[in-house]
Amino acid sequence: MGERKANTQFTKTLQHTDPHERGAEYIDRLKQAQPLYTTLVKAQCLFERENASDAVARIVIRRLEHVYSRPDVFIQLFEKSAQAGCANLQSTVSPIGGDIPSSSVLVHRLATYVYSSEAPLLRARAILMQIYHHAMHARYHQARDQLLMSHMQEAVQQADVTTQILYNRAVVQVGLAAFRCGYIAECQTILADMISTQRYRELLGQQIQRYNQQLSPEQELLEKRRLLPFHMHINHELLEAAYLTSCMLVEIPLMASVDTEEQRRRIASKAFKRQLDMAERSAFDGLPENSRDHVIKAARALQAGDWERSKDLLLSAKIWNLFDNSNEIKDMLSKKVQIEGLRTYLFTNSPHYVSIAFSHLSDAFSLPVSTVTSIVSRMIYNDELQASLDQIDQVIVFSRVEQTEVQRLSLQLADRVNSLVESNEKALDQKLGQGQQTDRTKEGGDGGAQGQRRGGGRTGGNYRGRGRGRGFQGGAMGQRRVAA
């Protein structure tokens, strides 16, 4: 119990130290994590000798909390200090002596031991910590597969608030890993629910946001205890920049491909569309002041067909330097802007061309002819572009058929009929659901009604992958109940 109290008190000291006003003091307190980690390793060896499996599992979770979100350099220092201080002790979970294990090996050993524990809460937290560690090191596929196979998205709504915060952190880190690996559409899909709530700082345990509800002093104290120390925060500006950039690369070509204003209003990312509309209505168009301005101005330049200015605006944002592989990120973004600029140009100007040469597109967008051919072929295969390839003359022959007024009105009528059918189905489902709830209330009395209301107290979000056949179901908690 002593090591538990010491770990709790250490976390409290970090929570009550302002890193902005007293940065040196915060760093000095943070340095105490190394001897505390050595104490945890000693306690683990002691409990292993006494065959206290439950106590060992709790200690291992404490060790995971100290290492899962830290850079590899700090983990190596922690392990080196712990092995020097426990040279005369033995451990089967993480062997003492020999070479210092890498961070991935250490996290895997600790998490694997907790998986055999009988406490479901510890197992869930160990899984989320390992997912976070995979995602932090840009191992997107491992993190995504482990999150899907764990089925955490199905049970997290019934978990405690601390586990929900850890789950939200893991999902957000998976989205950032997708962005770092160049999976732009997946990044947009994963981060969409979190950003759309405008509460991601609260959902990530980084800030208390009251909104329209007034918290009692007891509730506010509980909320403050759940806040994470500053060094564990996920940079919210980086999170927003990654999401808006993903929206730019996905939505700008989509907006150029639609024909009517009604179709344009169906753009998936409402937050990005709102920012773009606000920028277009702005009377003063000055220099970008923050990362959001860089991305929005880059999106407007891409929409206007100026991909070079769009690339310069996007890469000039300093927020990308927060990534470990910032140069690779910038190279990836540069290529994505070139490709999406080509797609936007074809969507916008295809009605005005009979044919266009591959060499012209290659020179205009600084892409190899083979890359241009591959992009256009994919667009034709996906029925995004009505054209054909003339390999002899190395040109694209457009075969766009203009819609007559009757055809255009017929399509609008069909869209409105589909919308009406969907709204009627939703109203019918809601009515039937209320009827079934009323029947259950009559049968089960007031207790059944109260249980039904309690069962629907929390809502979550579903992330479903688009375009590549990858169903990704994760989710940020749409509402988080404040414990009394």
Given 181, 203, 226, the domain boundary residue is 181
Specify the pLDDT at position 190: 92
Which of 158, 181, 204 is the last residue before a domain boundary? 181
Task: Indicate if 274 and 375 belong to the same structural domain.
Answer: yes
How much is the CA Rg of the chain, to the nearest whole Å?
Answer: 27
In a domain, residue 213? The reply is no
Q: Could you tell me the sign of the dihedral formed by the alpha carbons of 141, 144, 148, 149, in that order?
A: positive
Which two structure tokens, joined as six digits, stand for 188?
């947009």
83 to 46, 75, 80: CA distances (angstroms):
14, 12, 5
Residue 242: give its domain's CATH number. Answer: 1.10.10.10
Q: Output the pLDDT for position 352.
A: 84
322 & 175 share domain? no
| 244 & 379 share domain | yes
Number of domains forming the structure of the chain? 2
- Domain membership flag for residue 263: yes
Neighbours of 222 (CB within 10 A): 15
Contact 48, 92 (CB under 8 A): yes
Scan for tokens 């700082």, then name that residue. Answer: 201
Q: Are residues 41 and 160 in the same domain?
A: yes
SS3 1: coil
At residue 3, the pLDDT reads 60
pLDDT at residue number 248: 92
Q: Are 191 and 200 in contact (CB under 8 A)?
A: no
Torsion angles phi and psi, residue 181, rounded to 5: -85, 0
What is the per-residue pLDDT across 422-474, written as a single tens digit (0 to 9) for each?
A: 888 888 888 786 655 555 444 544 444 444 433 443 334 444 333 333 444 44
Residues 176 and 246 in one domain: no
Decide if 60 contacts 7 (C-beta within 8 A): no
Report, as ranges of residue numbers, the positions in the chain whose pLDDT lies below 70: 1-5, 209-213, 259-268, 400-403, 433-484
Q: Do 351 and 281 lie in a common domain?
A: yes
Cα diameter, the chain: 86
Helix (H) or strand (E) holding 53: helix 53-67
- Specify the pTM: 0.79
- Considering the domain architecture, whether residues 136 and 8 belong to the same structural domain is answered as yes
Q: Do 119 and 439 form a contact (C-beta atoms < 8 A)?
A: no
Give domain status of residue 413, yes or no: no
pLDDT at 331: 94
Instruction: Answer yes or no: do 155 and 302 share one domain.
Output: no
In a domain, 66, yes or no: yes
CB neighbour list of residue 13: distance below 8 Å, 6 or more residues apart: 29
Q: How far is CA 327 from CA 180, 288, 319, in A?
A: 11, 22, 12
Q: Is 104 exposed, middle or buried (0-12, 13-18, 19+ CB in 10 A)?
A: middle
434 is a domain residue: no
Tokens 């295969």 locate to 381
State both tokens at 399: 């075969």
From CA 345, how far away is CA 54, in angstroms rounded? 62
CA distance 175 to 28: 32
- Do residues 105 and 7 share a domain? yes
The answer to whether residue 347 sits within a structural domain is yes
**Are both 255 and 349 inside the same structural domain?**
yes
Contact 44, 56 (CB under 8 A): yes
Query: Which stretches of 24-183 are assigned E, i.e. beta strand?
Result: none
Q: Which of 398, 430, 463 is the last residue of a domain?
A: 398
Q: What amino acid occupies position 77? A: L
| Residues 278 and 394 placed together within one structural domain of the fold | yes
CA 240, 246, 247, 249 dihedral sign is positive
Q: Is position 220 within any domain?
A: no
Residues 174, 245: one domain? no
Report whether 154 contacts 124 (CB < 8 A): no
Domain range enclosing 378 = 238-398
In a domain, 250, yes or no: yes
Distances (CA, A) of 73 to 41, 76, 86, 109: 18, 5, 20, 18
Q: Which residues does residue 397 pair with via DSSP β-bridges, in sequence order? A: 355, 388
